[in-house]
Amino acid sequence: MYSLILLLTLHLFADFPLQNKWVSERKCDTWEYMVIHTVLYAGVITLGLSYLGISEMWFIPLALSHWFIDYSSGCKMKLNLWQDQLIHITILLLILVVG
């Protein structure tokens, strides 16, 4: 349970406060801002995973999946906020299960 709470807390921190309004508004205009957000997000989550004894190899899959999900929700408007967050959290749960 501690692992889940830690990852959810890190997810909320990395996906909202670390993504300031400036980056949020520009990440669909140019790929550099999406890279900034996804690398910061994946880095924070990977640090949490490492603390839990889970491999750092999840950094690239986290960054790529986060890019795809945010692009689909924020840039293409195919997902709403709840769907976006549900998919992010499902990925974190899968990582905890697979390790």
* pLDDT tens digits for range 41-69: 999 999 999 999 999 999 999 999 999 99
Q: What's the domain count of the chain?
A: 1
Domain that holds residue 9: 2-98
Q: Which pair of structure tokens corresponds to residue 85?
A: 């967050």
3/36 Cα distance (integer angstroms): 26
* 87 close to 95: Cβ distance less than 8 angstroms: no
HSE-up of residue 15 (Cα within 13 Å, Cβ side): 22
User: Own/partner pairs for 26-29, CB < 8 Å, 24+ apart?
Assistant: 27/70, 27/74, 27/75, 28/71, 28/74, 28/75
pTM: 0.91
Ranges of the chain with pLDDT below 50: none
